[in-house]
Amino acid sequence: MSLAVTYLMATREALEPLGDPDNAAPMASYIKDVSPFLGVKTPDRRAALKAAWRPLPRLDEKSLARTCLELWALDEREYQYAACDLIDREHRQLSAEFLVVPVETLITAKSWWDTVDSLGSAAVSPITMREPATTELMWRWLRSDNIWLIRAALQHQRGRKADTDFPLLYAMCEPYAQERQFFIAKAIGWALRDATRWDRQGVQEFVDAHPGLSSVARREAIRGLDRSALP
């Protein structure tokens, strides 16, 4: 039995008994019924998976990619969350290639903000920070016609604090400054809001230079600017 199959079976055995139909319906509604749910809340899922995975051999990158793709193919959303949990556990060992296979595939399958942003935190942000050459891939995602790849690229530097590449951040926001698509505009707003902690002047200059900045992005940026002005 392959390691991927072992993890898949252990994950299903850990989560299926915890399913609660009373939780499942509102959880699915929250993400606009993109996927059904077992009805397992996040703390319970993480505790169950931690216990189920602890005795298993650690996954190498190839086995992890295969496991994540298998989990993504299952219907219930908790299995996609489990894949993100696994990636987060192993992110320190992952190469730049992992962003192409499987992360790009995962971002564009069963897509909604929950999994896209989880993949951003677990894989995209840490790997791109460790592997500067992945900037080329971020530009490719940004120039794609997939809103979720665009969102992931726009947010790929979130969490870097003073180590953020601010010129790159503003350059990536530039092509979509007037974008009204909510999930793209929100990503720009959050990226700018975060940047105000470390480059308030740069964010203010970006906002001033883009009077057509979408209201969603502008609102988030202004929140950050107002907050950073507090003593």
> Rounded CA gap, 77 and 85, in Å?
13
Please write the tens of the pLDDT for every residue from 15-44: 999 999 999 999 999 999 999 999 999 999
Angle formed at CA 169 by CA 97 and CA 138, multiple of 5 degrees: 20
What do you get for the CA distance between the two ends of the chain, in Å?
59
Contact 59, 88 (CB under 8 A): no
pLDDT category of residue 185 using cuts at 50, 70 and 90: very high
Whether the pLDDT of residue 228 is over 90: the answer is no
- pLDDT value, residue 229: 73
pTM for this model (two decimals): 0.96
Please write the tens of the pLDDT for every residue from 67-103: 999 999 999 999 999 999 999 999 999 999 999 999 9
Mean pLDDT of the chain: 97
Whether the pLDDT of residue 231 is over 60: the answer is no
- pLDDT value, residue 28: 98
Please write the tens of the pLDDT for every residue from 195-225: 999 999 999 999 999 999 999 999 999 999 9
Task: Give the chain as a 3 state SS string.
Answer: CCHHHHHHHHHHHHHHHHCCHHHHHHHHHHCCCCCCCCCCCHHHHHHHHHHHHCCCCCCCHHHHHHHHHHHHHCCCHHHHHHHHHHHHHHHHHCCHHHHHHHHHHHHCCCCCHHHHHHHHHHHHHHHHHHCHHHHHHHHHHHCCCCHHHHHHHHCCCCCCHHHCCHHHHHHHHHHHCCCCCHHHHHHHHHHHHHHCCCCHHHHHHHHHHCCCCCHHHHHHHHHHHHHHCCC
Contact 72, 87 (CB under 8 A): no
Contact 87, 68 (CB under 8 A): yes
